[in-house]
Amino acid sequence: MSVIYQKVALIGLGLIASSMARAMREHGLAGEITGHARSAETRATALEIGLVDKVFDTAAEAVDGADLVVLCVPVGVMGQIAEEIAPHLAEGATVTDVGSVKRAVIDAVGPHMPAHVHFIPGHPLAGTEQSGPRSGFASLFVNRWWLFTPLEGTDPAALDRLKSLVTAMGANVDEMEPDHHDLVLSVVSHTPHLIAYTMVGVADHLRRVSQQEVIKYSASGFRDFTRIAASDPTMWRDVFLTNKEATLDILGRFTEELFMLQRAIRMGDGQMLHDYFSRTREIRRGIIEAGQDTDAPDFGRVPKKGEG
């Protein structure tokens, strides 16, 4: 493939940025990749493993001359970063982000963007529970959705160029209105993570009572809750604080469903439970048919030694 951007600046060098860097290198999509991270250790690691061509102590230095800037920092600090880099952005540069919420990012970043750049908010629906510059891999985005929430008046050519980059990395592309994005993500990502954190918290309390039995005898259900709950705490704190309205809405709906199931169990309504579980199983089948997961009961994981 040919170079799409001559110089890409990655601000924040965690899982998403490191995966982007690896994918861009593998497919020859960027002429030069620069980076910035708050931690000196992270910056040194990124340079050591060849993730970036140059690493800088400040975000302002990293974006100098870049025709694409990607904000890969927690949502809570995006406004601060945007303010810092704004005077240093090149004429005609595209600025995008990878945040899990979009309205809050637009409100925080948008006011700082100069008229001579293209600000195109984005969100790759890909990730693992790992973090840091060593955690990325080039195939992270393959067959995963990368959503864009372009603002009114966005230059179509700039949007098409950005789309061509992410599709070249293997992603599927779609567009959404920002508030609708935040509602959809609250259903498919944010609230499930909150529930996972809660369930693990309950188990932690029980563990103190049951002498490690909750951990020792964890079956696949609890194991998968703990995998989700292992995600970066700073990122998820910011997600819930910045997508408050949608998350509370979906949590309210979840509570109503939970009360309905509690009543069915209490009343011994087996037919209701069977019908409910049959309907929800169809959603899981739809996810598999859409190519977004495997139908293996272990979710495609390789069993560790000693596991059945």
Position 305 scores a pLDDT of 45
66 touches 93 (CB < 8 A)? yes
Position 289 scores a pLDDT of 72
Q: Around Cβ 182, how many Cβ atoms within 10 Å?
A: 26
Residue in the structure block whose two tokens are 């039995």: 213
> May I ask the CATH architecture of the domain 180-268?
Orthogonal Bundle (1.10)
pLDDT in tens, 268-308: 999 999 988 888 777 777 766 766 665 555 544 444 444 43
Strand pairing category for 172-175 and 145-148? parallel
Strand ranges in 84-165 using DSSP code E only, listed in sequence order: 94-97, 118-119, 122-124, 145-148
pLDDT in tens, 20-52: 999 999 999 999 999 999 999 999 999 999 999
Q: Which residues of the chain form CATH 1.10.3660.10?
A: 180-268
Q: List, for the chain, all residue ranges whose pLDDT scores fall below the cut of 50.
A: 299-308
Position 222 scores a pLDDT of 75
Position 53 scores a pLDDT of 95
> May I ask the CATH architecture of the domain 5-176?
3-Layer(aba) Sandwich (3.40)
Residue 108, classed as helix, strand or coil, is: helix
CA-CA-CA-CA torsion for 274, 278, 280, 284, nearest 10 degrees?
140
Q: Which residues of the chain form CATH 3.40.50.720?
A: 5-176
Position 307 scores a pLDDT of 40
Q: Around Cβ 255, how many Cβ atoms within 10 Å?
A: 10
Read off the pTM: 0.81
Supply the DSSP symbol for 153: T
